[in-house]
Structure 1
Amino acid sequence: MSKLFLSEPETSKTAIGVLLLNLGTPVAPTPQAVRTYLREFLSDQRVVELPRFLWQLILRGIVLPVRGRKSAHAYSTIWRDSGSPLLTGTQSLTTALATAMPEGVMTYFAMTYGQPSVVKVLQEMKQQGVQYLLVVPLYPQYAGSSTGAALDQVWRVLLRQRTQMAVRSINSFYADSNYIKTLANHIRTYWQQHGRGQCLLLSFHGIPQAQHQAGDDYVEHCTTTTRLLVAELGLKESEYRLAFQSRFGYAPWVGPSTQDLLVQLPQAGINSLDVVCPGFVTDCLETLEEINIRGKADFLVHGGKHFQYIPCMNSEYEWVEILAPLIKQHLQGWL
């Protein structure tokens, strides 16, 4: 058999597979492990849209040596005995979602970068007889650098299958009613237990301005999610802000910037702030370290008095309420 194609297992079973995709994580909070992860992540041209040769010189000569150490320290502040919060959270969600699936539907997860890889998981699904595949990137709002990059990994594997799976994908659910209502209830429950600040900051991961100008729908998706969520919560215009976090490099990114607002809001009289990150399914480096450690420190040192980070809907049961109906809708005709 030609080495171009993946070999096919000998099985008589036929099954439907649901593949959840998340971004990925280093295997350990060490400089070496973080550099390995970042090399794969930042080499994806969906993520950094610069000429490949030039970017690889910058990446390997400057970014990895410097950012590897800094990011390893950041990961060490959130790492748990069970490992990476993003990995364990995605595992828990996959297990819980499996219990809500109809008979004959098998649920798996993979990471766009790192382990478990898309290649290995799709090979396992093929060996288990999966011939109908639904791919679910765990990003409510579509961006080429997140959802697009995740789906690219799947398409690359399918190109090498001699007998390809039938495949469908969910590329966003930013306006899904279950997503909006469940997230609103999650925020209300937090407020009932911990009190409510003057302002709710909705912080989404940012993208470069150039990607937005090239036609990426991400900013519009984030704006729509915000509009629907604040309407569900009954917030006035003065009671919330929308912002974008995680700027990287020197090129312009979409704004307003979360980092800038955390400095500016106390000067505008907002001394008590709640922050929620609607674009993240599970807590991770960007929420636990960037927002709840560094972001909190920035807000307080610039005059803020009270800061609350509202955790992601890490309860796998909340996400099952959102994803299970959505998945079943996209499986129609296969069940």
Structure 2
Amino acid sequence: MPASPTSSKGRTGVLLVNLGTPDSPSTSDVRRYLNEFLTDARVIDMPAALRYPLFQGLVVPLRAPKSAKIYQQLWDERGSPLLYHGLDLQKLVQETLGKDYLVAFGMRYQNPSIEAALQQLRDAAVDRIIVLPLFPQYAAASTGSVQEKVMDIVKDWWVVPSISFISTFVDDPGFIGTFATLGKAEMAKRDYDHVVFSYHGIPERHVLKGSHKGYCKLGSCCNSYNKNNRYCYRAQCFETSRQLATALGLGPEQYTTTFQSRLQSRLRDPWLQPYTDEVLKTLPGKGIKNVLAFSPAFVADCLETTIEVGEEFKEMFEQAGGAHWQLVPSLNSHPQWVQAVADMIRRN
């Protein structure tokens, strides 16, 4: 019998990417992080001649000391939660996928860098690369920025393997299921009057710039998730809310979808609405005293979840007359989430 041909197929490389974190909560490291983040043309979409002097010369120097104090509250004995949860996820997904895969982890801004993670995969001569930005809902300023950075790096490689991107997992059963599991655990501890799904905000113009043939009207067009708005950030957020509400057994009147973390005045530069901080202040007046809050735009604990939603919004809610505000923990490296990530990789 003729000898079987030797397979040349190598391992599949996997690149998990999250947004980024300062190397430490010191003002200098926070300034370095903000400089890289806020001068990304996909985050601040203004001409470079305006963007760099405005943010490097004015915004970042003013903001860095204040942000450093907040990061100091977030840091714990393991360091930055966004970093160590990402590394934990990388390790566990690697164990789940096995030897036919090589899983690397990088940050869009700062360390470990996307470039270093890609070099790890390149050195291992992987057969192909699957890139999974850890942002459930696609936005040009997050997933789009990661995709652009990856392609900018590999364009200089003489040999570029097949590369594919998982651009969104807004309605992935494992993603929805894990958040539902965590939510139900909190709901088992006490009764809640209402659920708030709070997503990171983006400028309305970012949504309109990406609208398919002018489909987006920033209104009822998000009542369904379809081929015309599958990459609309706002539509994806509302779809995630609907999916989570169904998994949690909530009716339409039992939850609200809101947007947080706007950077600029809505009068000069409107961001997606309704705004979380404004909505939560109205809830106690409606008899809603106990609220369960989710941050479904984030898969790992970070400043925007732990501090903003978990602490700052809690204080605002109580000052407005609320009794109890509870943040549902993020997915981090929950076993169900690890399996969901592995399943998404295998399907691709």
Normalising by structure 2, what TM-score? 0.88
Task: Output the CA distance in 1 between the equivalents of 2:286 and 2:54.
Answer: 39
The answer (yes or no) to whether the contact 1:136–1:171 under 8 Å persists in 2 is yes
- For residues 229-257 of structure 1, give each alpha carbon's deviation from its aligned partner in whole angstroms, at most 9, with x where no partner exists: 11121112221110011100231100100
The one of 245, 270, 279 aligned to 2:260: 245
Matched, 1:321 2:302: no
| Equivalent residues, number | 318
Task: Output the CA distance in 1 between the equivalents of 2:100 and 2:323.
Answer: 53
- Aligned-residue offset at 1:267: 2.2
- SS at the partner of 1:19? strand
Residue identity in the other structure for 2:237: C
- Aligned-residue offset at 1:50: 1.1
- SS at the partner of 1:279? coil
Tell me the equivalent position of 1:138.
Answer: 134
Task: Output the CA distance in 1 between the equivalents of 2:67 and 2:184.
Answer: 33
- SS at the partner of 2:171? coil
Matched, 1:95 2:99: no
Task: Output the CA distance in 2 between the equivalents of 1:276 and 1:303.
Answer: 20
- For residues 63-114 of structure 1, give each alpha carbon's deviation from its aligned partner in whole angstroms, at most 9, with x where no partner exists: 1111101110111111011110000000001111111114321111000000
Tell me the equivalent position of 2:234.
Answer: 219
- Aligned-residue offset at 1:181: 2.3
Tell me the equivalent position of 1:256.
Answer: 274
Residue identity in the other structure for 2:289: N
Task: Output the CA distance in 2 between the equivalents of 1:212 and 1:135.
Answer: 23
- SS at the partner of 1:270? coil
The answer (yes or no) to whether the contact 2:196–2:291 under 8 Å persists in 1 is yes
Tell me the equivalent position of 2:56.
Answer: 60
Matched, 1:228 2:243: yes
Tell me the equivalent position of 1:22.
Answer: 18
- Aligned-residue offset at 1:190: 2.2
Residue identity in the other structure for 1:137: P
Matched, 1:197 2:192: yes
Correspondences of 1:69-108 after superposition (within 5 Å): 69-108=65-104
- SS at the partner of 1:229? helix
- SS at the partner of 1:249? coil
Task: Give the unaligned 5+ runs of structure 2.
Answer: 1-7, 212-231
The answer (yes or no) to whether the contact 2:130–2:165 under 8 Å persists in 1 is yes
- Aligned-residue offset at 1:221: 0.6
The answer (yes or no) to whether the contact 2:198–2:276 under 8 Å persists in 1 is yes
Tell me the equivalent position of 2:3.
Answer: none
- For residues 138-181 of structure 1, give each alpha carbon's deviation from its aligned partner in whole angstroms, at most 9, with x where no partner exists: 01111111100111111011101001121111000101222222
- Aligned-residue offset at 1:15: 2.3
The answer (yes or no) to whether the contact 1:20–1:137 under 8 Å persists in 2 is yes
The one of 163, 169, 176 aligned to 1:173: 169
Moved more, 208-217 or 219-228: 208-217
Tell me the equivalent position of 1:283.
Answer: 301
Task: Output the CA distance in 1 between the equivalents of 2:310 and 2:181.
Answer: 21
- Aligned-residue offset at 1:13: 9.2
Task: Output the CA distance in 2 between the equivalents of 1:53 and 1:116.
Answer: 29
The one of 36, 41, 65 aligned to 2:32: 36
- SS at the partner of 2:97? coil
Q: Structure 1 pair 158/315, CA: closer, same or farther in 2 (3 Å)?
A: closer
The answer (yes or no) to whether the contact 1:17–1:134 under 8 Å persists in 2 is yes
- SS at the partner of 1:145? coil
The answer (yes or no) to whether the contact 1:196–1:274 under 8 Å persists in 2 is no
- SS at the partner of 1:100? helix
Residue identity in the other structure for 1:201: V
Tell me the equivalent position of 1:207.
Answer: 202
- For residues 196-217 of structure 1, give each alpha carbon's deviation from its aligned partner in whole angstroms, at most 9, with x where no partner exists: 3211100111110111111251
Residue identity in the other structure for 2:79: G
- Aligned-residue offset at 1:285: 0.4
Residue identity in the other structure for 1:314: N
- For residues 253-303 of structure 1, give each alpha carbon's deviation from its aligned partner in whole angstroms, at most 9, with x where no partner exists: 001001111222122221111111111110000001111111111111111
- SS at the partner of 1:248? coil
Percent of aligned positions that are identical: 36
- SS at the partner of 2:52? helix
CA RMSD between the two structures: 1.4
- SS at the partner of 1:163? coil
Residue identity in the other structure for 1:258: T
Matched, 1:126 2:122: yes
Residue identity in the other structure for 1:66: L
- Aligned-residue offset at 1:131: 3.1
Task: Output the CA distance in 2 between the equivalents of 1:166 and 1:327.
Answer: 14
Residue identity in the other structure for 1:128: A
Residue identity in the other structure for 1:212: V
- SS at the partner of 1:322? helix
Residue identity in the other structure for 2:134: L
Residue identity in the other structure for 2:246: A
Task: Give the unaligned 5+ runs of structure 1.
Answer: 1-11, 331-335
